[in-house]
Amino acid sequence: MSNDQRKYFRNLLLHFRPSEVPERTLRLSLTWSLGGMAVVLVFLLIGTGLLLKFAYEPSPERAYDSIVYLESQIPFGQLIRNIHRWSGNGLIFVGFLHLLRVFYTGAFMAPRQLNWIFGLALFTAVIFSNFTGYLLPWDQIAYWAITISTSMLDYLPGVGTAIKQWILGGTEPGPATLINFYALHTAILPALLLFVLPFHFWRIRKANGLVIPRSPIEEPGTTGPMVDAMPHLIVREVAMALLLLATVLAISMFFNAPLAEQANPGLSPNPTKAPWYFMGLQELLMHFHPVFSVFVIPLILVAGLAYIPYINYQAETAGVWFCSHKGRKMALVAVIIAIVTTLAAVLADEFLTRDSLAGPPNMINNGLVPFAVIVAACTGFYVLLRKGFKANNNEAVQALFTLLVTAFVVLTVIGVWFRGTGMQLMWAG
């Protein structure tokens, strides 16, 4: 590259990136490069998705065969499908870890509150992109996963069934569903992602960059030395992107995206499971009245997630991992409590309470009562931390968040790996 070319290239880059960044924000132990990885995966998905469009045909008669043709007849077709599939799953995973890192470094506090909301919008778009893409191969796994997931809507009193039929374009997945999902997956949701992403980056620039990492005993406000973005930031970003691309490629070379037999609406597999990222919900559905497991609890959790940055916190902890030393210990204790109590509750519900609740599930016994018990337990936990352990509200909110997220992860793990035929509990699989 000549000197002039190098200058133009550098100029172009610096239209997108700040010219200088605080040296401290380059530490891997702040971001773990997770946001950057998410960006790379978004573009990898769009690139491979565009290639898949050359082969894929969105009709129940042709969809499955077009995937088989892609995999067996088109050079690198299987590889492109694998990359697309694993990047989609990877994006949920990386996006979730990024959310956790933002939360645990207090990077949602003012002036970053709105960016937390943009992040949640991005994450929602990522989940629904995965969900709508899941149906497209039109195989048994896809058909029945979408059937079971959308049937959860039937439990929404009054309007649930109407909404389900609107999404499906009928009473069960069929040609209209495939077209709806295809349009959402290949046009609406990618457009939404690409529309919201610049706002996400704009808010980072408006906040003068990322949170500055600091130790719990350091005062806020110390920015430390600044360094040129080129090469310090850009070289790190490019290295991370190349490493990620190599990893996705390696995984895609060794593991094929699943494809079962062609969808058969008359024969449901046993067990019928939702996609893994909705298995926490499906597991919840096995223990609570549907109105609570599918609506009340998720709605409260999502509203709580959106409310996190607007809580009036007592301490300025942005940039400090886990708020403080005490906060770190409390988060760890919350993880242990959540694992033990969730496992115990699932086992007790499975083996002890089923018979005593004989008869059709009712809203009071299976909904209101256990829900009230959980709310009381969470409130008790919060009060105990505040009053008994003298935690400030940053530390207590963090511990409560940790408790709930861990419980949801445990439910997801149980649903994905420990439910077998007839959704009975079983030992691994």
Closest CB to ligand HEM among residues 54, 202 = 202
Query: What's CA 101's distance to the chain center, in Å?
Result: 13
Q: How far is the CB of 344 from ligand HEM (least distance, A)?
A: 30
Closest CB to ligand HEM among residues 116, 288 = 116
Closest CB to ligand HEM among residues 102, 335 = 102
Taking a C-beta distance cutoff of 8 angstroms, is the pair 200, 122 a contact? yes
Q: How far is the CB of 414 from ligand HEM (least distance, A)?
A: 24
Q: How far is the CB of 100 from ligand HEM (least distance, A)?
A: 9
Query: What's CA 346's distance to the chain center, in Å?
Result: 23
Q: How far is the CB of 309 from ligand HEM (least distance, A)?
A: 8
Q: How far is the CB of 20 from ligand HEM (least distance, A)?
A: 16
Residue for token pair 């000197």 = 3
User: Exposed/middle/buried for 27, CB within 10 Å: 0-12, 13-18, 19+?
Assistant: exposed
φ, ψ dihedrals at 226, nearest 5°:
-100, 150
SS3 425: strand
Taking a C-beta distance cutoff of 8 angstroms, is the pair 222, 23 a contact? no
Residues within the interface to ligand HEM (CB under 6 A): 31, 34-36, 38-39, 42, 95, 98-99, 102, 107-108, 112, 115-116, 119-120, 122-123, 126, 200, 204, 207, 210-211
C-alpha span between 282 and 292 (Å, rounded):
12
Closest CB to ligand HEM among residues 126, 397 = 126
Closest CB to ligand HEM among residues 210, 244 = 210
The tokens for 19 are 């010219």
Name the residue whose CB lies closest to ligand HEM: 119
Taking a C-beta distance cutoff of 8 angstroms, is the pair 252, 83 a contact? yes
Q: How far is the CB of 329 from ligand HEM (least distance, A)?
A: 23
Alpha-carbon distance values, 285 to 123, 147, 296, 425 (Å): 23, 15, 12, 14
Alpha-carbon distance values, 251 to 27, 88, 90, 209 (Å): 27, 13, 11, 33
Closest CB to ligand HEM among residues 163, 204 = 204
C-alpha span between 316 and 340 (Å, rounded):
32
Q: How far is the CB of 87 from ligand HEM (least distance, A)?
A: 12
The tokens for 339 are 């694992």
Closest CB to ligand HEM among residues 187, 302 = 302
